[in-house]
A and B are shown apart, each in its own frame.
Chain A
Amino acid sequence: MNLDATQLMRCGDELAKYLYLRGSRRVRISYDFGEERSFCAISAPDYLLDEAERTRILKVFSGPIQPEIASYYGALAGRRRDGAEIELLGTMAELEDLMVTEGGGTQIVLSRREAEYFGKRKKR
């Protein structure tokens, strides 16, 4: 399995944990792995992110992707039991969408560009 897919799955796990710690008990994660870019959607229909949390997530993802941090320290994502560390996710993936709606709950979509850059066949 390539590193980009692994990293995106770590991001999904970390966000699921974040929502669980905030109180959600129904979290769904789905992935769409593409050739150029992969996507991860997390939804928590039973939980509404408040304004402060939304601001925090938007700020985490406001910085640029930093592969030099993500490829090495990214292994730490999802490792903590007693807290989330979503700051790290901002270096690993981009925020595509953040929706909070009455009835729909919270939906977050992340994406990550495939970075393996040579070889006729990509590793799977």
Chain B
Amino acid sequence: MDAARFRIRRAAGGIDADAKIINRATLSFVLALLGFGFWKSGFDPTVVWRGLLVIVREPDILINDYVALAGLGPAFVNAGLLALAAWGLLRVTGVLISGPALAAIFTVAGFSLFGKNPFNVWPIVVGVMIFTWVERRPFKDNIIVALFGTALAPIVSEFAFGIGIASPWNLLAGVVAGLAAGFFLTPVARGALDFTRGYNLYNIGFAAGFVGTVTMSALRAFNVPLSGGFAWAENGPDEILPFLALYFASMIVIGLVEDEDALPNLLDLLRTSGRLVSDYPRSFGIGATLLNMGLMGFTGSLLALAAGCDWNGPVVGGIFTLVGFSAFGKHPLNALPPMLGVMAAASLTPYGLEAPGSQLALLFSATLAPIAGAYGPVAGFIAGLLHLTLVHNVGHLHGGLDLYNNGFSGGMVAGIMVPMLDWIRERRRHEP
């Protein structure tokens, strides 16, 4: 690769100045979520409190939309609180908030609209913490795994409120199940990297899929009934889209204002494959990263509009995740091919784009963006086709206990496609 591509034209203060801007941007995201949530709750703390109680007590396995269960306001307050907790955890452990940390914060916030809440995430985090302690490492070493690992939060809620264990033992069962899931997730996640080789951005979702499958298989073996549940709000874009558009536009403006080289750096960023680890703030500065995040926010929103998606918790969560990972591997050129592949596959199959699973696949299929970035748009498009067909089937394995179902499916697509694409590339290279 041409070394000239890797020139860095940072804002005057370098990484330290970038870190301050990232911190402010993250805090503004938290405040925007909380502000929007309280506004939509009529600034009534009782409405927020009652909504949060519903969110904590309801089942959380895929797909339970907190906007449908508790309303738009409490769902966004829940997202703001958990984004604040993730940011606080990163600050307390002294972690530099760069690409992966930004992706983690936005992902936690996004999934707090449909599955994560202040009760069910902490046992997973503590489980990872215990593993790290046993491994004799500082907790900050595994903080990214801990934050993404909250994909398994439904295990905690299911054991606590879903399978009929009497009070107060239900809470204990939930906490113990969460601790165990968090503990075993780290080694499984490291192993999963070997399989996907960095071409599935939601790698911990892939690993969590295995932990969820083992848990679900054990429950099924003993005929333990799950609470299940399905909630999906069918809202139009009017209430949420202006808020999102304003936020994404502000990201673009701040990116351009903070770094005069944001645009040329963005052109360099667009040439990357996006394969793990593509830490965009570290490589291209925060200006280009914020610009990319804002652009991807608009791209995701426009695609959701074009596909006629419902503007509810899961869809907005998908857009937040898309934006977060635009600091860590995604950009319009590598994300669009798999997303268009999903749209094509949904149109060609009986699943259709109106199915909730297809709408989520559209937004989360950008987990396979590195395939398009490394092997070209056709490979990315095919990855999207495969992704949709898999994503509608693999959920049964873990029964919805892994919130990152698209990461589970994406891992399988990457694991299958990448060795074949490598073989084709090697064969072409050696052809006379």
Contact = CB atoms under 8 A, between A and B. Distances in A.
Interface of A: 3, 52-53, 55-56, 59-60, 62-64, 66-73, 75-76, 79-83, 85, 87-88, 90-91, 115-119, 123
Contacts of B427: none
Given A72-B193, A82-B422, A85-B275, 14 more contacts: A56-B3, A66-B95, A66-B98, A68-B100, A68-B142, A69-B98, A72-B144, A73-B277, A75-B190, A75-B194, A76-B276, A79-B198, A83-B1, A87-B278
A80 B8 CA distance: 24
B143 A55 contact: no
B166 interface: no
A68 B141 contact: yes
Interface string B23-64: 000000000000000000000000000000000000000000
Count chain B CB atoms within 10 A of each CB in A66, A80, A118 and give the residue with the most. Answer: A66
A123 B137 CA distance: 11
Interface in B222-271: none
Q: Nearest 7 A-B pairs (CB), nearest first? A: A52-B3, A71-B141, A56-B3, A73-B277, A116-B136, A67-B141, A56-B6
- Tell me whether chain B's interface is mostly helix, strand or loop, or mixed: helix
Interface of B: 1, 3-4, 6-8, 15, 95-96, 98, 100-101, 135-138, 140-145, 186, 189-190, 193-194, 197-198, 275-279, 282-283, 422, 425
A117 B137 contact: yes
Contacts of A75: 190, 193-194
Given A72-B144, A81-B422, A82-B425, A52 B4 contact: yes
A72 B198 CA distance: 12
B100 A69 contact: yes
Count chain A CB atoms within 10 A of each CB in B3, B145, B186 and give the residue with the most. Answer: B3
